Amino acid sequence: MIALGESEFKKTGIFDLEPGLWIWCTRHPFWAPGDDYQQVVVSVFVESGGERILIDPLAPSLDCLDIWSRLDETPPSIIIATMPDHIRDLDLFVRRYNSKAFGPMFYFPDQVPHTKLTAVVAEIELPGGLMPLFDARGRAETPIFLPGYRYIVFGDALMEKNGELRVWDSPWNTKRELPALRAMLELPFEKVIISHFDQSPVHTREEFQKALELPPFRWV
């Protein structure tokens, strides 16, 4: 296991954030040069309200297979996908751990899960006391607020490039997306976890606020 502070986040492995909250970084198996996201992406494990929950899990690449051993020690009871793009390996984790699954109401044609998912709906509490939030980008994303840890876990609404947290651009950025993100400042969160990054997937509340004032990020 790679403990927080022993390695740069851009390397693959396990990183402990808080007792009961950890992430793993692994290479996306279908990434190719020129794709509009970074190769290494993030999955989240959190213990909350008597549940052991995975958020947007991606099966580990060959250089970090110790993730399976750690999960086997504390098998997840709940799997959550924050958005259609992140259905990914949900079926694999459900089969291995006999977990209950939650996710978006709509899927992409090539990513329809075999598992029957309970719909994640913004502002309707999930098992473990987790709260899905309204994203407003029209991508069916529901960021997940972890009240016991004061973190928000994002799918693709935010990303980090060259150390700077940014809001992904969308056609509704000014009228819908930014107001929805600003409304999240009413929550008592201290940090955010994002899926796509260059240097770190964990950012502070202050960095989140700054991102809302910057021009939206467009991948070029």
Question: Under the phi-then-psi rule, with left for phi > 0, alpha for psi from -120 to 50, and beta for the rest, what region is 31?
Answer: beta
- Does 4 reside within a domain? no
- pLDDT tens for 8-30 read 555 778 999 999 999 999 887 77
The burial class, CB within 10 Å (0-12 / 13-18 / 19+), for 162 is exposed
Residue 95 in any domain: the answer is yes
Which range is least confidently modeled, 3-12, 119-128, 193-202?
3-12
Tens-place pLDDT, residues 40-78:
899 999 999 999 999 999 998 776 778 999 999 999 999
Range of the domain at 175: 13-211
Q: Is residue 69 part of a domain?
A: yes
pLDDT tens readout for residues 159-177: 998 889 999 888 888 889 9
Is 74 domain-assigned? yes
- Provide the pLDDT for residue 19: 97
Q: What is the pTM of this model?
A: 0.92
The answer to whether the beta carbons of residues 92 and 149 sit under 8 Å apart is no
Q: Is the pLDDT of residue 1 over 50?
A: no
Pairing status of strand 78-80 against strand 100-103: parallel
Q: Return the higher-pLDDT residue of 3 and 34.
A: 34
Please report whether residue 220 resides in a domain. Answer: no
In a domain, 8, yes or no: no
24 close to 54: Cβ distance less than 8 angstroms: no
Whether residue 127 has pLDDT greater than 80 = yes
pLDDT tops 70 at residue 216 = yes
HSE toward the beta carbon, residue 35, CA cutoff 13 A: 12
**Residue 71 belongs to a domain with what CATH number?**
3.60.15.10
Q: Where are the strands (E) in the chain, listed by range?
A: 13-18, 21-27, 40-48, 51-55, 78-80, 100-103, 118-119, 131-132, 144-146, 151-153, 158-161, 164-167, 191-193, 202-204
Paired sense of beta strands 151-153 and 144-146, if any: antiparallel
Total domain count for the chain? 1
* Residues counted in the chain: 220
DSSP state of 81: -
In a domain, 216, yes or no: no
Residue 204 lies in a domain: yes
Tokens for 30, please give them. 């279908």
**pLDDT value, residue 117:** 94
